[in-house]
Structure 1
Amino acid sequence: MSILILTTGGTIDKLYFDALSEYQIGDSVVERLLRTARVAPAFRVRELMRKDSLEITDDDRRAIVAAVREAPEERVIVTHGTDTMTDTAHALGDGAGKTVVLVGALAPARFAESDATFNLGMAFAAAQVARPGVWIAMNGTIFDGAKVRKDRSINSFVAA
């Protein structure tokens, strides 16, 4: 079993440059995090885009859906910014019969106190064991992609 990881940007890959929080989306850290964790199952990383999720358009979502559908892998992880992650989950629908797990971070992976590594590990595990469909791995929970929302008041994902 091989897992495809599609990267789209988001906080997980952000680089900050100054106290004003000016940032850009950098090279994805996903492959490095998985290699550092000594992940044994086969995986492939493909960059689709480098965008903050607030900048992801309907055309971008169609590109994500197409990449999932066209991939030979039956298990796919999509790294994504958290602000519009649920919109992309809805666009993916039933995942075209595949197991699709969206994951992101509330703090960049390059920060010492980031949730990125933990969330990515949760997503990698979920991609291996979850039934086909669309899932979101955030905050130590695997959510049904159609039944989750980001609660900005507590900066956490919750079941909808």
Structure 2
Amino acid sequence: MADILILTTGGTIDKLYFDALSEYQIGDSVVSRLLAVARAACDVRIVELMRKDSLELTDADRAAIAEAVRTAPEQRIVITHGTDTMTETAAALTGIPDKRIALLGALAPARFAESDAAFNLGMAFATVQVAPGPGVWIAMNGTVFPAGSVRKDRTSNSFVPV
């Protein structure tokens, strides 16, 4: 069993842009590369669940994410996710016993030089390691929000308390 399970679901963090029209595709996850660059010492297991923009996630997708969390042997779980519906997935995970879960995303793809992806990943890692007990959190914009107490503000392009 790993110290931390990372579930990847897609979202901007893993997007690849191909042309001036901003056509994109969700590519291979960059999580292992970000962890290598950070020299992360935790034992991790990475599982790709899906490659979807979060606006395309369905209730069935959220049920699959919840099932992966519920059945994982690890108690510390980090989930990469698109930012548009991250709060909905966090709500679907609330109440799963004995798990410390942190969701993170990026407002710019991790492959971009000025992305927030690495910082958010670090925040999520810290959250599942030091959280006082089971629960669900969102790690974005240098803040850790308990699930249900945050929303994405599209005007400021940031996460803010509810």
TM-score normalized by the length of structure 2: 0.97
Residue type of the partner of 1:83?
Answer: D
- In the alignment, what sits opposite 2:9? 8
Higher deviation after alignment, 109-118 or 1-10: 1-10
Q: Deviations over 1:75-118 (max 9, x none)?
A: 00010000000000001112332100000000000000000000
Q: How many residues align?
A: 160
Q: Does 1:57 align with 2:58?
A: yes
Q: Does 1:93 align with 2:101?
A: no
Q: CA deviation at 1:127?
A: 1.1
**Any stretches of 5+ residues in structure 1 without a counterpart?**
none
1:100 and 1:115 map into 2 onto residues whose CA distance is: 20
Q: Does 1:112 align with 2:103?
A: no
Residue type of the partner of 1:112?
Answer: A
Q: Deviations over 1:43-69 (max 9, x none)?
A: 110000000000000000000000000
Give percent identity, aligned residues only. 72
1:94 and 1:77 map into 2 onto residues whose CA distance is: 16
> Where does 1:67-106 land on structure 2 (aligned, <5 Å)?
67-106=68-107
- In the alignment, what sits opposite 1:38? 39
Moved beyond 6 Å, runs of 4+: none
Tell me the C-alpha RMSD between the 2 structures: 0.8
2:150 and 2:158 map into 1 onto residues whose CA distance is: 10
TM-score normalized by the length of structure 1: 0.98
